[in-house]
Amino acid sequence: MGSLSVPLGLKRTAVLCVLRHGTAFLLLKRLKEPNKDQYTPVGGKLDPFESPVQAAYRETWEETGIRADRMTFCGVLTESSPTAYNWTSYVYVAEIERVPPPPCNEGTLEWIEFADVLNVPTPKTDWFIYDYLLRSKPFAFSAEFDAQLTLLTMREEIEDVVVYQQGS
């Protein structure tokens, strides 16, 4: 299979799979970039010819060994920067049993309570995702970063509100 050259800055498509039990999230402390050493949902790039929901089930299984009964679509996170970091991520949530964190070749899985999410290293964008999904609110987040991948602004486009503005 030949690799296609994707122009720099073109959005790549991924899924974020938020695994939760009540208000606790099974998060991955990542071993590699992007977001190395930060706690994120499991997920990854879509395979060729794969739908986002198929990718969500596959990535959850590959990274945790957990077969989710149901993946519920929550919203979309679009991340734009002047670097190679440009993503469109479909966000799904699965309610799972509070199992002991399984081993993962992408990093370390840990249960983190929503109240503690801001006390661990996590992408700023993710806190808003957890907040919206705990309130059962759909979202279409658009996040803009600078060249150092510092979040500058993030808006929720369904309600047309700025949820984050650097320095304010």
Q: What is the pLDDT of residues 1-30, one digit of tens each?
A: 556 677 889 999 999 999 999 999 999 999
Residue (of 96, 104, 90, 18) closest to 55 by Cα position = 90
State the pLDDT at residue 3.
Answer: 60
User: What's the rounded mean pLDDT across residues 56-64?
Assistant: 97
DSSP structural state of residue 35:
S
State the pLDDT at residue 121.
Answer: 96
Give the residue carrying structure tokens 């803009």: 144
Q: How far is CA 147 from the centre of its chain?
A: 20
Q: What is the pLDDT of residues 63-102, one digit of tens each?
A: 999 999 999 999 999 999 999 899 999 999 999 999 999 9
Mean per-residue pLDDT of the chain = 95
State the pLDDT at residue 7.
Answer: 84
Q: DSSP states of 80-130 as a string? A: E-SSS--EEEEEEEEE---PPPPPBTTEEEEEEEGGGGGGS---HHHHHHH
Q: In the CATH hierarchy, which top-level class contains the domain 12-165?
A: alpha beta
Residue (of 6, 7, 5, 8) closest to 147 by Cα position = 8
pLDDT grade, residue 34 (50/70/90)?
Answer: confident
State the pLDDT at residue 84.
Answer: 87
Domain boundaries, the chain: 12-165
Query: What is the pTM for the complete model shown?
Result: 0.94
